[in-house]
A and B are shown apart, each in its own frame.
Chain A
Amino acid sequence: MVAMVRRRLPEERARSMVSLAALFLFWILLSSALDPAHIAVGLAAAALVSRFSSDLLIRRDERIPSPKALLPYLSYLGHLAVEIVKANIHVARLVLDPRLPIAPSIVKFKTGLKGEVAKASLGNSITLTPGTLTIDIKGDTFYVHALTREAAEEVRAWHMEKRLKEVEDAA
């Protein structure tokens, strides 16, 4: 009961608003119904959960991203989609080539990204795109398995990292 009546910091309130919005959208999507009864129940459930778990989506030790980061983030997602299609065609070519022209290597490089979420995003982006696979991240060093020599060269100075950096700077 003490926790319930405790006054909430503005930051905690903002955190729980983010959770509320995300949970409510998720509810609408899954219920696929827009009648008042469904919306009321969904809103109540989302409000309850976000009230008690304000750090559900954004951890307490992380800053809340500013809305200014949205535009660079959308640009990052758009470029990622293009890269994924390119990656698939690239790997499909290698797989279907009778000579199987692969020259794998495990390379390492350092990143300028600071946040954990940004680093995890970069790791996942690398895995999703042309012939590269993140094996491990230690501090700011990335270990990447590359399928070809060109892929290994490309990943060291990758333009997607700059895009993530823009997102991080705006947030």
Chain B
Amino acid sequence: MILLDMLTIAAMAVGLFFLTVGVVGLLRFPDVYTRMHATTKCDTLGAASVLIGLGLYSGDLFTVAKMLLIIVFIFVANPTAAHAIAKAAYLSGEKPYEGTLEDAYGGDLR
């Protein structure tokens, strides 16, 4: 059981690290689009790690399977929502920040 506890703590720690990085990224990045990167990537792996940790902690195979189901849902829903937010932001006139090198999307919309 010690081993299972250690794995649980490790998975939860990794998850919390990536969730924290997601928040830091959200605060540090300059515009909507770059901020979406921080929230889509770090949040998916962060949440997945925490859920795996919870599954290991329960020690029950059905609970692990349910956690995996939630992870699959997050992995489908999160990028879809990010895509919708980024597109909606662009179409409502949110400009990418000045450091952006190239904007192939804006050219094709006009």
Interface residue ranges, A against B (CB under 8 Å): 29-30, 32, 84-85, 87-88, 91-92, 94-96, 100, 102-108, 123-124, 127-129, 131, 133-136, 138, 141, 143, 145, 147, 149, 152
A119 to chain B, nearest CB (A): 12
Give residues of chain B (40-99) contacting chain A, Cβ–Cβ below 8 Å. 40-42, 44-45, 62-63, 65-66, 69, 75-76, 78-80, 82-83, 86-87, 90, 96-97, 99
Total number of A-B contacts with CB less than 8 angstroms? Answer: 127
C-alpha gap A96/B23 in the complex (Å)? 11
| Selected contact of B103 from candidates A30, A91, A103, A106, CB within 8 Å | A106
Task: Provide the residues of chain B in CB contact with A124, threshold 8 Å.
Answer: 75-76, 79-80, 83
Contact check, B44 vs A149: say whether CB atoms are below 8 A apart.
Answer: no
Say whether A91 contacts B42, CB under 8 Å: yes
**Shortest distance between the CB of B46 and any CB in chain A (Å):** 8
Cα distance A138–B62 in the bound complex, in angstroms: 41
Query: Min CB distance, B35 to chain A, in Å?
Result: 10
| Min distance, Cβ B55 to any Cβ of chain A, angstroms | 13
Chain B 9-40 residues near chain A, CB threshold 8 A: 17-18, 21, 24-25, 28-29, 31, 33-34, 36-38, 40
Extra inter-chain contacts (15) besides given A128-B79, A147-B34, CB under 8 Å: A85-B45, A91-B38, A92-B17, A95-B28, A105-B103, A106-B103, A108-B105, A108-B108, A123-B79, A128-B75, A131-B37, A134-B79, A134-B86, A135-B90, A145-B36
Question: Would A88 and B34 be within 8 Å (CB), given that A95-B24, A135-B87 are in contact?
Answer: no
> Quick one: given A32-B62, A143-B105, are A95 and B25 in contact (CB under 8 Å)?
yes
Q: What would 17 A/B residue contacts be, using CB atoms closer than 8 Å?
A: A84-B45, A88-B21, A91-B37, A92-B17, A92-B18, A96-B24, A104-B31, A105-B101, A106-B33, A106-B103, A106-B104, A124-B76, A133-B37, A133-B40, A134-B83, A136-B90, A147-B37
Binding site secondary structure of chain A:
mixed
Q: How far is the CA of A27 from the CA of B99 in the complex (A)?
A: 50
Shortest Cβ gap from B70 to chain A (Å): 11
**Which of A29, A87, A96, A143 has the most chain B CB atoms inside 10 A of its CB?**
A143
How many angstroms from the CA of A124 to the CA of B44 in the assembled complex? 12
Q: Given that A95-B38, A102-B29, A104-B34 are contacting pairs, would A136 and B87 also be in contact in the complex, using a CB cutoff of 8 Å? A: yes
A131 / chain B contacts, CB cutoff of 8 Å: 37
**Smallest Cβ-Cβ distance to A87: which chain B residue:** B41
Q: A100-B28, A102-B34, A105-B100 are in contact. Are A92 and B42 (CB under 8 A)?
A: yes
How far does the Cβ of B76 sit from chain A's closest Cβ, in whole Å? 7
